[in-house]
């Protein structure tokens, strides 16, 4: 009988060791799960209200089961607590806060108790396994890993990574890509997080960074840091563009990524199911970078509008379809790659627009300055774009224009200033007629034309303007003052001026708040992991 008990005790430790090895978790966690299972079975036998505790000897495997009763000053639970006076009848040298331990006989597990214990052990082991998986993979986000397809549900692929399972959602697969159970798959881990059902490892084959990692595996110069991939834009499964930069002037970054006879890029293309890849040189110069990004199309001219974040690209007429690409794919990928909104025009369209703008500007000069079309065209040709420029440019700049004499230049400036004065009076009267208050007009940075525009949009008081957000002024489609070229910082500064003038806070309070925000941002930056 004694020999059988010893065997059972030894088997308990052997089971714990086997489970720990199989699930790659700590042996101690398995033994703690067993203890909790035995405790649960003990409470089922002796009563759930009792404080039953089990301990498994880590060397012999012997199970100790006991009931614990706490010694307290005032009883709140008669089953698990005793007063000091009551406890002294059981044990004389006991103090408040200690426990009286009543050993219990070993449990003869019945079918239900055994099943309950098994469930507890399985649950605890599963929790420990999930925690182990999370700890192992939480720092592996950003890696490319290999796995085997375990199952496919509603297009989502569950991948066995050996020591964990990962999920490849349908939207993270390449179009028309299909897998079967047992297939080997390579993907990029883009997120690892805890969820109610345990840690989830999310993988992707459509992520731009997947392509970056594949090139790093195929191109030693990228892995060694000699070549950097500065930007990636993908239309997964169809086409992609990557911008590369070499830190060694003797190494061509495009050639290194293409490889001998295209061997390196073809290895990546094969992994991505034939996705076409344009490899372009990266440039600090925005215009050059955009021109490179639109390859293979040829570009005739580039016009940047930094305030609007736009760039206009002029291409020869026969290059238009190539620059735009099938369903706009080429220009869309170039825009994603460079971070600029790209408008493509043909040379003919750009010429027509330029002529139309010149004509409109000439007509404005003719109307404002009461001059003929010859003088108006001369002003436009010399680069004047507004009546303000004519009025306040140095007189010698006007007089230096071929065909202009000093008296003509003086007369033009006088007419320009008279026009601006008259226009200012007209706008001021219109502003008052709209009911725009003088307090709002006093805000430095708002002219009468802007105030009329605001008044037409029912922004008439200091409070109305102070209540706005910066993007309500600058939005490219619906911003109240978008036509005046404000950027978001300038718009916010105007609104803050209005709030101070309206008494919402003082300039000192604003300065203190901005300083406090800057300190918090600096502290967060220092605390952030590198």
The answer, yes or no, to whether residue 224 has pLDDT greater than 50, is yes
232, β-bridge pairs: 242
Do 339 and 245 lie in one domain? The reply is: yes
Q: The CATH number of the domain where 142 resides is what?
A: 2.40.50.140
Do 24 and 95 lie in one domain? The reply is: yes
Do 425 and 454 lie in one domain? The reply is: no
Residue 469 in domain = yes
- The 8 Å CB, 24+ separation contacts for 483-491 are 483/453, 484/449, 484/450, 484/453, 485/307, 487/307, 490/445
Do 483 and 506 lie in one domain? The reply is: yes
The helix (H) or strand (E) run that includes residue 5 is: helix 2-23
**Average pLDDT value for residue range 32-51:** 79
| CA-based nearest residue to 198, from 252, 128, 262 | 128
CA distance 439 to 500: 12
Q: Residue 246, Cα to own-chain centre: how many angstroms?
A: 27
The 3-state secondary structure of 276-343, one letter per residue: EEEEEECCCCHHHHHHHHCCCCCCCEEEEECCCCEEEEEECHHHHHHHHCHHHHHHHHHHHHHCCEEE
pLDDT band at 113 (very low <50, low <70, confident <90, very high): very low
Q: Which residue has the higher pLDDT, 221 or 47?
A: 221
Q: The CATH number of the domain where 62 resides is what?
A: 3.30.1480.10
Of the listed ranges 126-130, 378-382, 458-462, the least confidently predicted one is: 126-130
**Average pLDDT value for residue range 264-290:** 91
**Average pLDDT value for residue range 199-213:** 88
CA distance 373 to 352: 19
CA distance 5 to 306: 83
Provide the pLDDT for residue 140. Answer: 82
pLDDT band at 362 (very low <50, low <70, confident <90, very high): confident
Q: Which of 390, 408, 432 is the last residue of a domain?
A: 432
The set of residues, in sequence order, having a beta carbon less than 8 Å from that of 43 and lying 6+ positions away, is 50, 52
In percent, the amount of the chain with pLDDT more than 70 equals: 90
Do 292 and 364 lie in one domain? The reply is: no
Do 229 and 337 lie in one domain? The reply is: yes
The 3-state secondary structure of 138-164, one letter per residue: CCCCCCEEEEEEEEEECCEEEEECCCC
Provide the pLDDT for residue 197. Answer: 65
Provide the pLDDT for residue 3. Answer: 37
Do 219 and 318 lie in one domain? The reply is: yes
Do 330 and 355 lie in one domain? The reply is: no
| Contact between residue 314 and residue 346 where contact means Cβ atoms under 8 Å apart | yes
Of the listed ranges 90-94, 156-160, 244-248, 409-413, the least confidently predicted one is: 90-94
Q: Which of 343, 359, 394 is the last residue of a domain?
A: 343
Residue 195 in domain = yes
| Contact between residue 384 and residue 370 where contact means Cβ atoms under 8 Å apart | no
The answer, yes or no, to whether residue 110 has pLDDT greater than 60, is no
Q: What are the tens digits of pLDDT across the range 307-328?
A: 667 888 888 888 888 888 888 8
Do 266 and 242 lie in one domain? The reply is: yes
pLDDT band at 243 (very low <50, low <70, confident <90, very high): very high
The answer, yes or no, to whether residue 4 has pLDDT greater than 60, is no
Do 76 and 114 lie in one domain? The reply is: yes
The answer, yes or no, to whether residue 7 has pLDDT greater than 50, is no
Q: What are the tens digits of pLDDT across the range 154-205?
A: 888 989 888 778 888 888 999 888 888 889 999 999 888 876 666 688 899 9
The set of residues, in sequence order, having a beta carbon less than 8 Å from that of 151 and lying 6+ positions away, is 157, 158, 181
Provide the pLDDT for residue 434. Answer: 87
CA distance 468 to 475: 12
Q: Which residue has the higher pLDDT, 13 or 508?
A: 508
Residue 19 in domain = yes
Do 293 and 251 lie in one domain? The reply is: yes
Number of domains in the chain: 5
Q: Which residue has the higher pLDDT, 341 or 198?
A: 341
Do 335 and 355 lie in one domain? The reply is: no
Residue 524 in domain = no
Residue 504 in domain = yes
The helix (H) or strand (E) run that includes residue 455 is: helix 448-456
CA distance 93 to 80: 19
Provide the phi-psi class of 454: left if phi over 0, else alpha when psi is between -120 and 50, else beta: alpha
Provide the pLDDT for residue 119. Answer: 66
Q: Which residue has the higher pLDDT, 444 or 136?
A: 444
Q: Which residue has the higher pLDDT, 213 or 85?
A: 213
Provide the pLDDT for residue 410. Answer: 84
Q: What are the tens digits of pLDDT across the range 363-390?
A: 888 888 888 888 888 888 887 888 888 8
**Average pLDDT value for residue range 95-109:** 78
| Contact between residue 174 and residue 236 where contact means Cβ atoms under 8 Å apart | yes
pLDDT band at 278 (very low <50, low <70, confident <90, very high): very high
Q: Which of 101, 133, 165 is the last residue of a domain?
A: 133
Going 283 to 286 to 292 to 298, the CA torsion angle's sign is negative
pLDDT band at 529 (very low <50, low <70, confident <90, very high): very low
Residue 523 in domain = no
| CA-based nearest residue to 220, from 251, 189, 241, 250 | 251
Residue 488 in domain = yes
CA distance 216 to 230: 13
**Average pLDDT value for residue range 39-63:** 80
Residue 522 in domain = no
Q: What angle do CA 297, 303, 304 make, to 5 degrees?
A: 115
Phi, psi at 14, each rounded to 5°? -65, -40
Q: What is the mean pLDDT of the chain?
A: 82
Q: The CATH number of the domain where 396 resides is what?
A: 1.10.150.20
Domain range for 456 is 435-516
End-to-end CA separation in angstroms for the chain = 63
**Average pLDDT value for residue range 323-347:** 88
In percent, the amount of the chain with pLDDT more than 90 equals: 15
């Amino acid at each position: 009988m004694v020999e059988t008990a010893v065997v059972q005790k030894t088997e308990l430790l052997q089971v714990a060791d086997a489970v720990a090895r199989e699930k790659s978790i700590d042996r101690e966690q398995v033994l703690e799960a067993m203890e909790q299972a035995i405790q649960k079975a003990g409470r089922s036998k002796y009563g759930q209200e009792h404080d039953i505790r089990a301990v498994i000897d880590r060397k012999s495997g012997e199970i100790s089961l006991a009931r614990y009763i706490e010694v307290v000053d005032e009883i709140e639970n008669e089953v698990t607590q005793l007063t000091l006076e009551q406890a002294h009848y059981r044990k004389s040298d006991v103090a408040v806060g200690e426990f009286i331990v009543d050993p219990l006989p070993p449990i003869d597990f019945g079918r239900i108790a055994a099943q309950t214990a098994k469930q507890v052990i399985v649950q605890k082991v599963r929790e420990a396994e999930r925690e182990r998986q999370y700890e192992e993979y939480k720092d592996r986000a950003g890696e490319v890993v290999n796995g085997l397809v375990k199952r496919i549900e509603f297009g989502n692929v569950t991948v066995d990574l050996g020591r964990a399972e990962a999920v490849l959602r349908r939207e993270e697969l390449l179009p028309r890509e299909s897998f079967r159970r047992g297939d080997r798959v390579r993907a990029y881990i883009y997120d690892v997080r805890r969820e109610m059902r345990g840690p989830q490892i999310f993988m992707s084959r459509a992520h731009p960074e997947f392509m970056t990692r594949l090139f790093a595996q195929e191109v030693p110069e990228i892995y060694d840091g000699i070549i950097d991939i500065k930007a990636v834009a993908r239309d997964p499964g169809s086409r992609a563009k990557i911008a590369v930069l070499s830190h060694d002037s003797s190494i061509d970054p495009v050639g290194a990524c293409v490889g001998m006879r295209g061997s390196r890029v073809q290895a990546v293309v094969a992994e991505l199911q034939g996705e076409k890849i344009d490899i372009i040189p990266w440039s600090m110069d925005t215009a050059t970078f955009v021109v490179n990004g639109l390859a293979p199309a040829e570009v005739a001219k580039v016009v940047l509008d930094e305030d609007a974040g736009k760039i206009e690209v002029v291409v020869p007429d026969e290059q238009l379809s190539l620059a735009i690409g099938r369903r706009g794919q080429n220009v869309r990928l170039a825009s994603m790659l460079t971070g600029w909104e790209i408008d493509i025009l043909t040379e003919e369209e750009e010429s027509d627009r330029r002529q139309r703008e010149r004509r409109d500007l000439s007509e404005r000069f003719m109307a404002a300055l009461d001059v003929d079309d010859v003088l108006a065209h001369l002003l436009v040709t010399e680069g004047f774009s507004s009546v303000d420029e004519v009025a306040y440019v140095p007189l010698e700049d006007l007089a230096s224009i071929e065909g202009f004499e000093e008296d003509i230049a003086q007369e033009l400036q006088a007419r320009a200033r008279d026009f601006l004065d008259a226009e200012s009076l007209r706008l001021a009267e219109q502003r008052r007629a709209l009911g725009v208050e003088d307090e709002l007009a006093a805000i430095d940075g708002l002219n009468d034309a802007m105030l009329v525009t605001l008044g037409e949009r029912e922004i008439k008081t200091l409070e109305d303007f102070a209540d706005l957000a910066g993007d309500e002024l600058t939005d490219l489609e619906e911003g109240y003052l978008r036509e005046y070229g404000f950027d978001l910082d300038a718009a916010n500064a105007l609104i803050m001026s209005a709030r101070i003038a309206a008494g919402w806070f003082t300039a000192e309070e604003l300065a203190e708040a901005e300083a406090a925000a800057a300190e918090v941002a600096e502290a967060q930056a220092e605390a952030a992991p590198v």
